[in-house]
Amino acid sequence: MRHRPNYLAGFGSLIWLFLVGLPLYVMLTATLRTQSDYSTSGPLSFPTHLTLQNYLDDFSNGFGRDFLNTIVVTLSVVAIVLLVVPPLAYAIVRSRHRTMSTVFRIFLLGLAIPAQAVIVPMFYVISKAGLYDNLLGIILPTAAFCLPICTLILTGAMRDITPDLYEAMAVDGASPARVFRQLVVPLSKGGLSTIVVFAALQAWNGFLFPLVLTQSDSTRVITLGLFNFQTEHGVDVPALLSAVLLSMLPILVVYLFARRALVRGLMGVGGK
């Protein structure tokens, strides 16, 4: 509708393109060259001959195992979230029980608890439970800290189901379990895919809980692998950056094929 192009914003967006594009260019080219080539010709030059050795090095450094651990953690966190959140959201939206508003308030309060604030007691609880340095010790807290936002997203989606539909099923004499299965779950698919993506992102990118709750190589997840690699062999920039690139590949795939769901899951970061 506007007749004149927005020059200022257009100019700003070009600067931003440069700020985003340059690091991505350096990362991409660095992963395809040898360490000595990177050190001598500098990060901005174009690589003279290409190599995939860096990626192979990552795998011989245990990246494959980190990757598998992260997949296990991510799938488990998503499974837990899918198991407990939909019934909870259904109860919050439909139940007339008096304590339900208290329950909802507990989860809203949970939105304000930063994971950083509880790492010390979490370390205590997980150690006492014998789960220190165990993948389960990462999975349980990570899933718990996904719950408030996932609940908020899903109750929002479920509130959009019109009361007429519930009444129609009530006429049929359907039990809550049947209403849940045949009405609530099918009609809140959008919300469900958002919480799956959100929980998966939290688990895949999670760093703090793995950092303080695990220590051995056998339980290392990708983010911790990147951190360790950086502290131990930070000079091998090409291998480091190829690990960074590998760590984002699964998310990139989701981005390419389910952009909308991913973006909604990302926005879930703010509980909106």
Partner 1 sequence: MTSLTATLAAAVERRRAVRSGVGATRPGLAWAVPATLFFTLFAIVPLVLVAVLSFTGWNGIGSPQWTGLANWTALWHDPVMLKSLWLSALLTTLGVVVQTPISILLGVWAAGHQRNRAVLLAIYFVPLLLSATAVSVLWRALLDPNFGIPSEAGWLFGDGNLLGTQSGSIGVLAFVGAWQWTPLHTLIYQGGARAVPQVLYQAAAIDGAGTVRQFFHITLPQLRNTIITSMVLMVVGGLTTFDTVLILTQGGPGTDTTISAYYMYQQGFLSFDFGGASAIALVLVVIATLVSLVMVRLTGYDKMNSTAEGL
Q: Using CB under 8 A, which residues numbered 82 to 111 contact partner 1?
A: 83-85, 87-88, 90-92, 94-97, 99-100, 103, 106-111
How many Å apart are CA 207 and CA 53, to the nearest integer? 27
Interface with partner 1 (CB under 8 A), residue from 113, 130, 189, 260: 113
Q: Using the rule CB under 8 A, is 226 a contact of partner 1?
A: yes
CB under 8 Å to 219, separation ≥6 — which residues? 69, 133, 134, 135, 138
Distance of CA 37 to the CA centre of its chain: 35
Identify residues 5-24 at the interface with partner 1 (CB under 8 A). 6, 8-10, 12-13, 16-17, 19-24
Between 72 and 91, CB nearer to partner 1: 91
Q: How many CA atoms lie within 13 A of 55 on its CB side?
A: 12
Interface with partner 1 (CB under 8 A), residue from 170, 181, 182, 218: 170
Identify residues 50-79 at the interface with partner 1 (CB under 8 A). none
Q: Using the rule CB under 8 A, is 26 a contact of partner 1?
A: yes
- Asked whether 187 and 207 are in contact (CB, 8 A), the reply is no
Biggest alpha carbon–alpha carbon distance for the chain: 77
Q: Using the rule CB under 8 A, is 198 a contact of partner 1?
A: no
Torsion sign (Cα): 24, 27, 28, 30: positive
Between 6 and 218, CB nearer to partner 1: 6
End-to-end CA distance of the chain: 29
Question: Least Å distance between CB 107 and partner 1?
Answer: 7
Between 75 and 83, CB nearer to partner 1: 83
